[in-house]
Structures are given as structure tokens and as C-alpha cells.
Amino acid sequence: MAQSAISQHAAALAGIPHQPTAADKSQPALQPGYRLAPVKVETGAVSTIAYLPCPTWCDEDHVIESVRAVEDVMHRNGGANVYVPTFGYGAYPVQLHAWIEADPVAQNPNFRAAHISVSDVTGDEGAHITPEMAEKLADDLIGFASELRHMARTVRQANLSAPSVGLRKVGGAA
């Protein structure tokens, strides 16, 4: 008697080794706050995709931002930026950037743990701060913003009451 298509298919699958499922406890469990993320490792002409635990706050694309070794994976998020415009002659506007990062294989436990990095546009390493340091900085920046608003009111008032006098250079270049 001929076998049905379903029983033939089931027989063909009998030789395939067991594949883990979501309920399979033989796989290592991820810590809460982590997900398994693909990481592209490029060594010379060889490119490999590995899967590593990645914090849920990390928005770095570890495939686009490939590494030369798994140990080189850093976790970062986009963060926040402040740009100070200018009408002056500065080489570049004042910029301040802050983001969360962690280096899972760093020797220093402070760099291994999630922390906040703050830097300017110069490309220097900048500052690495704890949550407590970030709270203090935020309080200082709120105070700075308040003083900045006070200065804006003072300058606005000064410009309203300033006499409208044209200035000319005397002697020298125009």
C-alpha cells in the first residue's frame, strides 16, 4: 500500500537532528535587559556573523559597524546633542554630545558597566560619567540654562535702550 504524502514527509524528517526551540532549556538564557544580536566580524577577506548578548538600550547596528574580533564589540546608543549657533568667526560651532556606552571586555569595571560618555566636536575622548555624575551635570546645566536666559533678557534690554550710533574706524583699514 502506498504511503500518504504526510507520512512520507514525516519519514524524511526523521534523519534531521533535533533543533532547539524557544522552550529548549539547553540554550544559555539571556539576562533580563539583553537580546541576542548579530555581529559582523571581518578578518581579512573572511566575514562571519556571530550572535552576542546585546543590551536592549544599545541601538548600534553591529552588522553595519563590523569589528575585526568579537572582543571589539562596543555597545552604544544615539544619545543627545546640543549645538550652539554663532554669528562669529569660530572654526566650528560649539557642540556637546552625550551617549550611553559599555565595553564588555574592558579591564576597568567602570568602562565595562553601562555609563554615559560626554564629548565635544574635537574628537577627544571626552568624559565618562556615572549616573550620579550625570544627575549633578544635569543640575549644573539647568543652572547654566537659567543664567543663559537671564543674560538673554539683559542683552535684549541693553539693545533696546542703546543709542543708535554708527561707528567708523578712524585711520587704518576700512
Task: Output the pTM of the full model.
Answer: 0.71
Which H or E run contains 144? Answer: helix 131-161
Q: Among 72, 124, 70, 71, which residue's Cα sits nearest to residue 97?
A: 124
Q: Closest Cα partner for 51 from 20, 81, 78, 82?
A: 20
Residue 149: inside a domain, yes or no? yes
User: How far, rounded to the nearest angstrom, does the alpha carbon of residue 76 sit from its chain's CA centroid?
Assistant: 3
In the chain, beta strands by DSSP E: 34-43, 46-55, 75-76, 80-84, 94-102, 115-120, 127-129
CA distances in angstroms from 60 to 5, 56, 66, 100, 131, listed in the order given: 47, 10, 10, 11, 21
50: number of Cβ within 10 Å: 13
Residue 144: inside a domain, yes or no?
Answer: yes
The reply to whether 148 falls in a domain is yes
Tell me which residue has cell 562571519: 48
Number of domains in the chain: 1
Does residue 136 sit within a domain?
yes
pLDDT digits over 78-110, tens only?
A: 899 999 888 888 777 789 999 999 999 999 999
Q: Which residues contact 64 (CB under 8 A, 6 or more apart)?
A: 40
Residue 13 has pLDDT above 60, yes or no: no
CA distances to 29, 60, 73, 109 from 50, in Å: 17, 15, 11, 25
Q: What's the confidence (pLDDT) of residue 22?
A: 57
Range ranked top by mean pLDDT from 2-16, 113-127, 131-145, 157-171 = 131-145
Please check whether residue 141 lies inside any domain of the structure. Answer: yes
Q: Whole domain around residue 140: which residue ranges?
A: 130-161
In-domain check, residue 27 = no
**Mean pLDDT of all residues in 40-59:** 93
Kindly state whether residue 137 falls inside one of the protein's structural domains: yes
Does some domain include residue 24?
no
